[in-house]
Amino acid sequence: MSDAMAKSWKIKLLYDGECPLCLREVRFLNQRDAGRGLVAFVDIADDNYSPDANGGIDYETAMGRIHGILPDGTVVKNVEVFRRVYEVLGMGWVYALTKIPIIGGLADVIYGIWADLRLLLTGRPNLAIITEQRQKRLGEKHSSGRCRMNEKDDTVAKIKQ
C-alpha cells in the first residue's frame, strides 16, 4: 500500500469488535463512509491489534475509552472522537452542540459513565478479567508455535548468560 493510500483516512477509529453496541455504531459509520476510506476502523479486540501502529494506545487503555488517531499522530478520545468522525463523514451537525464548552463537558461526563458501564450493560466481564483472558490467550497463541527448551537446554542457556 502506498503512503498516499495509507494516509487517505482522516481519522482512525479504535473500537471494541466484541461489543455489540460498538459494532452497531461502526457498521452505521462504515455505511456512511461508503467506501471512501475517510475513517480507518481498527478493531482493538483483534489478536493482531498493535499499539505501535495506533498511537501507542494499548488494549486496556483503548477498552476504557474510545480513541481516535489523526493522520498527524494526534490522539483524541471521548466525545471528541465522535465529533471528529461525524464531521469527516458529513454529519457534523449530530455532535455540533458538543462544541459549546458546557455542553461538551457534560457530554464527556455522560460518555464517561457510559464507558464505565459499557461492559456490564452488554453482559461482559469487567475490564480486568477481559484483559487477563486476552493476555493468557495471546500468550498461548505466541508460545504454541515455538520450540520449548527442555531442562538440559535451559541449563545450557543459563550458563551462556
HEC profile for 19-83? Answer: CHHHHHHHHHHHHHHCCCCCEEEEECCCCCCCHHHCCCCCHHHHHHCCEEECCCCCEEECHHHHH
The ranges assigned to domains in the chain are: 3-144
Looking at residue 7, its pLDDT comes to 62
Cell readout for 115 is 464507558
* pTM value > 0.85: no
Looking at residue 142, its pLDDT comes to 64
Looking at residue 141, its pLDDT comes to 72
pLDDT digits (tens, 9 = 90+) for 21-49: 999 999 999 999 999 999 999 999 999 99
Mean residue pLDDT of the chain comes to 86
Provide the pLDDT confidence category of residue 140 given band limits of 50, 70 and 90: confident
Residue 4 host element (H or E) = helix 3-6
Across residues 124-145, what is the average pLDDT?
84
